[in-house]
Amino acid sequence: MHLLVSGITVAKDGKKTAYVRLEDGENFAEGRIPDCVIIRNGGFDETQLSKLTVYMHDHLDELMEQAGGVNPLKALMRESKKERPTGADGRIIIKE
């Protein structure tokens, strides 16, 4: 099982929100914090969804702290660099 936490987004009303995604093989569920509601489900039963909701409630401070530490731009750049070949001097090699 994998639990992923997004970075914090700020809505027009100023409310800070983040998303939690639980993956287990082909099954997934997504929840929104801090209101701790499931917004999408792909394969989990009601008991499992209830447990995820309780987990979000019980670990809300920790999850929001993790979300606050996510830098989406830095994560994106790190992923882009992994996909780009670089030379010995660290410059990105662009093939035309």
pLDDT by position in tens, the chain (length 96):
888 898 898 888 899 999 999 999 999 999 999 999 999 999 999 999 999 999 999 999 999 988 888 876 666 666 555 555 555 555 544 443
Domain that holds residue 32: 2-69
Structurally, how many domains does the chain consist of?
1
Q: Is residue 90 part of a domain?
A: no
pLDDT of residue 94: 46
Report yes or no on 88 lying in a domain: no
Q: Is residue 35 part of a domain?
A: yes
Helix (H, G, I), strand (E, B) or coil at 24: strand
Predicted confidence at residue 80, as pLDDT, reads 52
Q: Is the pTM of this model over 0.85?
A: no
**Is 82 inside a domain boundary?**
no
Single out the residue of 69, 38, 42, 43 nearest to residue 54, CA to CA: 38
Those residues whose C-beta lies under 8 Å from the C-beta of residue 10, and which sit 6 or more positions away, are 16, 17
Peptide bond into 85 cis (omega under 30): no
